[in-house]
Amino acid sequence: MSIRLTPDAVYERLTSGTPNGAGLEVPLYDYDVVIAGSGPIGCAYARTILEDPTIPDARVLMVEIGSQDSSVIGEHHKNSIKFQKDIDAFVNVIKAALQDVSVPPGDTYIPTLVGNGWTPPVNNGTQLIFQGSNPNQIRELNLKASAVTRTVGGMATHWTCACPTPHPEEIRNNPIPQAERDSLFQRARELLNVHNDQYEFSMRHTTVKDTLLETLPAGRNVQSLPLAVERRSDNPAYVTWSGSNTVLGDVASYGDRFKLLSETRFTKLILDNDTPNLIQGALLRDLGNDRDVLAQAKAYVIATGAVGTPQVLANSGIYPDTLGRNLCEQSLAFCQVVMTPEMIDSITNSTNADWQRRIAIHKASHPTDPLPIPFNDPEPQVMIPYTTDFPWHCQVHRDAFSYGDVGPRADARVVVDLRFFGKQEINPNNRVYFPQNLARDWIPGNTDIYGMPQATFEVQRSHLDSVNDQKMMRDLCAVADELGAYLPGSNPQFMDPGLALHITGTTRIGDDPTTSVADRSSRVHGFTNLFVGGNGCIPDSTSSNPTLTSVMIALKACEAVSELLRQPTTA
Ligand SMILES: Cc1cc2nc3c(=O)[nH]c(=O)nc-3n(C[C@H](O)[C@H](O)[C@H](O)COP(=O)(O)OP(=O)(O)OC[C@H]3O[C@@H](n4cnc5c(N)ncnc54)[C@H](O)[C@@H]3O)c2cc1C
């Protein structure tokens, strides 16, 4: 299906980018719901709508700027046996997956460049702006390590899968009533396939957990980390990590009611002055063919990440004062320890018959190995949850991130990672902002490398945040001390701001339009058929990992989308 637009209409209504050339034939996709973003939140929306028996014919178009990198839509890359055998190698996958959000222009003057190489003129007052750098970014206010993942499946193609339920203090601003939240959380856990018992037979896991249970006060509530993971029944040495595919469900069963457009940018929503509260369409850009595409639907869902979602709204001219504000990002303290000899001895001397059987098999194959731990013994996955007295979320585990590979420094079987996440006070002045009118305000560096308005951070931690961070670091050191000695090179440290990749608040939900962007159903205030999704919807200061909460919020929103689709007309 296609519609024919006059050149004037194309320029007026579509504005950005080059029109498609002679004839201006613009393909049109006509669906019931258009979802921007194929991460776990876009997929939670898609599945819930597609499996809703009250709207059995509903058709969903999903638009994703990244490419599909696995044969299964949005699968977790860590399901490859290669990475389960060599977790260090996965660090490079994550590094490659992360694209920085805001990079101040570098100092490209190279004093040692001699000979015939171009160098910028010295002291002429201009800044060299290379593609993707942001001249507006003030270094001190940046979330330097904040990044996005542009691929089918979003960040859930590499995430750690930690899904703790937030403590009541981490969810007090959420406008969804608690009883409703509890059942939505349960459905979110099912969609993400969350378990907390998949590591119980592991020697390392049990030893780390028991050591903390014995040495920390009972009030710390040491427990197994709830993870979106399931051990494989055909070979329990491996696990299946939940990716966006897990959330999306059985795509084949949707038939032609579901379509995914990859390497397609959701550029902007099309508004009409005559019906200001109703989105009329969506302008997309087919990146491979470099041409504009239109989509029409009854409902529009923007779930392009905590930076990408306000970015699409801003590019559409939907820029309430609350957009991008109340941004919170978690501080992240990290270290790695090598377990104590006592912990290793407790494995050797364990009375657990299954352990002794596995140790014997290992020793028979590897008689010179000084460690009793079989090579395929799963890693520790332990949590010390947020409490009022210790208001931070602690993961005592072993996993890949964009840092923290062990390499040849130590035997990976005796290394434990400690990642402690600290909250940030809510402050409307902490924000990500975008140039509002690219045609008018365009200056070099004002778009990102995908041609969307450049995101600029203005984020500062408060005095209270610093005090809290200091206490969290002291706690990290105390917990580490119970487990062993610091792995040289991985001493306790705060990671660069933004590295937690847990930005919240930028499209927060709430009942009051002066302090929120969308209502409790994630419907953007002032609009009938526009919904947002993702961690940006979380209105609280949190230290627990956010994805479970964002899925919970999206499930609530789907009820409103469903109601909208059941209405005979949307006008
Ligand atoms: C190393 C790492 C570890 C993590 N560990 C955890 C953890 O243990 N627990 C946890 O809760 N969270 C964790 N996270 C974060 C988690 O992955 C995110 O919270 C989650 O993926 C957010 O889902 P989303 O769908 O809102 O956004 P995303 O997963 O970011 O997906 C958004 C999608 O939108 C696409 N997009 C952006 N702009 C456009 C556009 N204009 N047009 C079309 N498409 C667009 C992007 O390409 C992307 O695919 C981790 C992330 C990383 C990278």
Structural domains of the chain, count: 2
Give the atom of ligand 1 at the shortest distance from the alpha carbon of 43: 25
Predicted confidence at residue 289, as pLDDT, reads 93
Residue 480 CB neighbours (<10 A): 20
CATH number at residue 252: 3.50.50.60
The DSSP string of 46-77 is: HHHHHT-TTSTT--EEEE-SSB--SSSTT--G
439 and 316 co-located in one domain: yes
The answer on pLDDT for 11 being more than 90 is: no
317 and 369 co-located in one domain: no
319 and 361 co-located in one domain: no
- Give percent of the chain with pLDDT exceeding 70: 91
What is the pLDDT averaged over residues 175-184? 98
Most informative mutation of 68, 495, 547 for ligand 1 (most atoms within 8 A of CB) = 547
Structural domain that includes position 313 = 1-104+128-156+242-328+434-459+505-566
Ligand 1 centroid–CA 156 distance in Å is 6
136 and 210 co-located in one domain: no
CA atoms of 274 and 259, how far apart (whole Å): 30
224 and 246 co-located in one domain: no
Domain-terminating residue out of 450, 477, 496: 496
Residue of 205, 393, 502, 525 with catalytic role: 502
Predicted confidence at residue 5, as pLDDT, reads 47
398 and 519 co-located in one domain: no
- Kindly indicate the confidence band of residue 570, based on its pLDDT and cuts at 50, 70 and 90: very low
Give the atom of ligand 1 at the shortest distance from the alpha carbon of 544: 11
Q: Is residue 117 part of a domain?
A: no
The answer on pLDDT for 246 being more than 80 is: yes
345 and 372 co-located in one domain: yes
Q: Is residue 164 part of a domain?
A: no
- Kindly indicate the confidence band of residue 114, based on its pLDDT and cuts at 50, 70 and 90: confident
Nearest to 77 by CA among 59, 99, 94: 94
The answer on pLDDT for 6 being more than 60 is: no
Domain-terminating residue out of 444, 477, 496: 496
224 and 356 co-located in one domain: yes
pTM for the predicted model, two decimal places: 0.95
Ligand 1 centroid–CA 305 distance in Å is 6
Phi, psi of 164 (to 5 degrees): -70, 150
Predicted confidence at residue 185, as pLDDT, reads 98
Most informative mutation of 95, 155, 393 for ligand 1 (most atoms within 8 A of CB) = 155
480 and 453 co-located in one domain: no
Q: Are 396 and 380 in contact (CB under 8 A)?
A: yes
Active site residue 545: yes
Q: Is residue 207 part of a domain?
A: yes
CA atoms of 508 and 495, how far apart (whole Å): 26
Q: Is residue 306 part of a domain?
A: yes
Ligand 1 centroid–CA 201 distance in Å is 31
- Give percent of the chain with pLDDT exceeding 90: 83
Residues at CB less than 6 angstroms from ligand 1: 36-42, 63-66, 94, 149-151, 154-156, 158-162, 265-266, 303-305, 308, 312, 401, 452, 501, 534-535, 545-547, 550
Q: Is residue 188 part of a domain?
A: no
403 and 489 co-located in one domain: yes
For the ranges 113-122, 145-154, 411-420, which has the lowest average pLDDT? Answer: 113-122
For the ranges 25-34, 66-75, 419-428, 439-448, which has the lowest average pLDDT? Answer: 439-448
Q: Is residue 308 part of a domain?
A: yes
- Kindly indicate the confidence band of residue 440, based on its pLDDT and cuts at 50, 70 and 90: low
Structure tokens at 538: 């979380």
Ligand 1 centroid–CA 373 distance in Å is 35
Active site residue 362: no
83 and 9 co-located in one domain: yes
Domain-terminating residue out of 496, 518, 541: 496
Q: Is residue 187 part of a domain?
A: no
Partners of 2 in beta bridges: 27
pLDDT (tens digit per residue) in 54-71: 999 999 999 999 999 999
Most informative mutation of 34, 98, 101, 304 for ligand 1 (most atoms within 8 A of CB) = 304
CA atoms of 106 and 127, how far apart (whole Å): 9
Predicted confidence at residue 459, as pLDDT, reads 98
Structure tokens at 79: 């399901």
Ligand 1 centroid–CA 534 distance in Å is 8
Q: Is residue 74 part of a domain?
A: yes
The answer on pLDDT for 262 being more than 90 is: yes
Predicted confidence at residue 418, as pLDDT, reads 98
The DSSP string of 205-270 is: HHHHHHHHHHHS-GGG--EEPPEEEEE-SS-TTSEEE--HHHHH--GGGGGGGEEEE-SEEEEEEE
pLDDT (tens digit per residue) in 362-396: 999 999 999 999 999 999 999 999 999 999 999 99
16 and 44 co-located in one domain: yes
Partners of 295 in beta bridges: 29, 282
Task: Quote the mean pLDDT of the chain.
Answer: 92
